[in-house]
Structure 1
């Protein structure tokens, strides 16, 4: 309901205007009356009306002066100027203040209400546009956040190979020449474990703070897993070591200064991977950040640690085939294919030189692999607490056997999940689509409904039903549309809206693509 203030030095005029407004069917209410411009200013500041009926000629502060003063502290208030003087100079002066409505005394009831209705409709229309823009911005921000999490998650599992820095530059509108990963973790300062609320609070703080202090880079914050958060930094700076370290240290120092003010009952630790000039190499930077963080957690007094290619602790395989094998292995684990996993695992081990390699190097390679698998299980919603940990006896043969046993336990766990829990969740998702097909449902909303990440929900849905989410949704909508067409009393536009489409032309194109006939042609062929 819009709030109205009436400012006029003539009490009978104020009462007459108020009576007309109160007797109208418009969704408005009179919140006060002001006998002069000075009081009108005070009441406007106090009650914040939406519309003010303002008499131009009043003793002391006149209507034009009052409009100027009010617009300084609330430019959104609309004015309907009222005057017994039909002169251009008065109209010109109020028009310069953005006032569009001007009515003469004595004004008829019709003129007054027509003027009020025009202003009210303008306000309502503007507010509706603002609300739509806010919703659009909110949905866009949410979509961007989801996309960033999924891209980082895909990157960590070496499943994104086709995005170059040039393409990122075009997409983000800034020059990108290199990128690197940081891995953040929160470590409690006491023996008490962090609560889910504390972790989520830190995660939200980290996202917000990084985006406020990182000005020279573009960042993508991945999903939190337990207390670890991967962050991708895309930057214009050279990948040259000293420049990279200087910029990263500045970010970290500023971050820690703000972290201290939060008084969290935990310490924040950061492992930093090296920068790379090719996007497909960013997985290496993540692996390095993981290993740097592991080393860092052994040192109680250090807050962050950079990866170094010097020494065994941070040595990375030089053969790119290792990453390809790793990707195949992760895909096979997700499918629960024991035979394929065992074959690929042997290939993975052979890439590391097996018996010729150092035991510590193999152990760290296994640790990296199982960290990636653990993240994948987490995103799938699989509880991996019952899977035995990888044991390190110091003997390379025992280590390899332990790695294979551990991997086999993971795959068997995934098999059970796929046969039971996943099957039920995907059927639940299918039922959700069939119930809500007429609404603006998305892959993200369906994934959220079954508590899976959109990335894995999409993969599992395609594996299970042989169709992508959008293809299945389209199939359901067109099937329902065909059934609706049997009712000759329903127009094509009605049918279009009833099955979830908002654009009849787009509905027609989709229908023809799927059936080979336009909706009208299909109806003629089926309805006799």
Structure 2
């Protein structure tokens, strides 16, 4: 039911219109009237009518003046002007103000009703159009949000080259260009009900939900010191929170391509944290407090990095550094030593299982050492235990360095067999050869001189070149066959790699050898 408000300086006209129409029967609500625009304005703001009927010539504030104000303050209100002045200037000004209807007096009740119904129908039509527009806008925003999340997920998975990442980010209105980046991942079954906005306060940060219990933050900055401080602060705050949250923080990278590496490292740290959390979850009372203090005293990520890249000669120094909390702590109890060594051993065991399928012998040796951990009473015994376990792991790792070639070869074979899969990425390749994504990324780059993403792109483009020369397939069909779900993206990548468009290449004289 549309609300109607009347403005006219003649009381007899106001009463005549107010009483001469069965408003409810006609589908309207007569919500008030006033003798001039000045008196009418606060009443209109209060009752918020859909339609305002106003005379032109009135004292204090006339119809055109109130119409200008209403058009600015309440643009959706429809205005019907009643005028006894059949003059061009009045009509022209009414049009300029975008008055809905301009009627000449005298006006019968039936004529006014006809005009009101006409305006009411216009309101209904506009409301329907507005709802459709809002629905489309909402859907578009939802699709854009999905597209943005999909892009950020693919970016973290290492799907894009630098130029392609910048191009797609620009199309989605995302600014990904920065001097430095690092990733934070948090995970909890109750994550939707936990406040996580504090993590990004004061920093430039892109966020997305990987799933219902995992949220990812891509931090950006112009200063290495700034992001190092951010990572340190986040780690301290996360460790001091009471909620059961597992988290991982990747190292700071200075290239867009490094985002996927930082993401892989953050995922890796989070997976270790989850293992330790399950172990610690059984603790209660004093045990729990001891574990909390110990958990906050060191950065497990340091241990993982040492397991990957440390050497035999650094074991003694690392053991002292990593366990320094035990030496400086006011608590010197066998229980604290035991918790520390269990955390240390579980982290190493998880690392070995991720790094090497054929790890039974090494795990057996560590298990033998672990059996005597509960008997350790002195700090020096802790150091000895650490040195012995690390010597086993680092020694085994060094002996298997020759496996790099085998792992790289298996990775290349997997890519050559599955490049047509649009979902193929660093993560899926790492899972196939049973190593972590960060480990494979580091190894692949060192051994081949190119990133895994670059190798995958080149493989796809080489196959596309063959298809362009040997088939009559359309461009979008070839794009699909070589692993691109977006033909425009395929054409962009093809030109970037070859320096030619697909059409120009097809018509060129370059010969593709038949394999």
TM range (shorter): 0.3 to 0.5
Scaled by the length of structure 2, the TM-score of the pair is 0.47
